[in-house]
Homo-oligomer: A and B are copies of this chain.
Amino acid sequence: MGAMLRKLRIMQNARGTVRLIEVVFPEHTNHYGTLFGGQALQLLSKAAFLSGRSFARSDVVMARCGEVLFHAPVRLGSTLVLDTQVSRVGRSSLTVRVAGSVQDVATEALTRVLDGEFEMVAVDAAGRPVRLASPPCLHEETFEETV
Chain A positions near chain B (C-beta within 8 angstroms) = 18-21, 23-27, 29-32, 36-39, 41-46, 49-50, 53-54, 57-59, 61-70, 73, 76-77, 79, 105-108, 116, 118, 127
Q: How far is the CA of A70 from the CA of B29 in the complex (A)?
A: 25
| CB neighbours of A50 from chain B (8 A) | 21, 23, 79
CB A121 to nearest CB in B, in angstroms, measures 9
CB A124 to nearest CB in B, in angstroms, measures 11
Q: Which residue of B lies closest to A24 (CB)?
A: B31
Contact B65 A46 (CB under 8 A): no
| CB neighbours of A49 from chain B (8 A) | 23, 37-38
CB A57 to nearest CB in B, in angstroms, measures 5
The secondary structure that dominates the A interface is mixed
Contact B116 A65 (CB under 8 A): yes
CB A92 to nearest CB in B, in angstroms, measures 15
Q: How far is the CA of A68 from the CA of B105 in the complex (A)?
A: 27
Contact B69 A67 (CB under 8 A): no
Q: How far is the CA of A141 from the CA of B127 in the complex (A)?
A: 37
| CB neighbours of A18 from chain B (8 A) | 21
| CB neighbours of A63 from chain B (8 A) | 69-70
| CB neighbours of A31 from chain B (8 A) | 23-26, 76-77
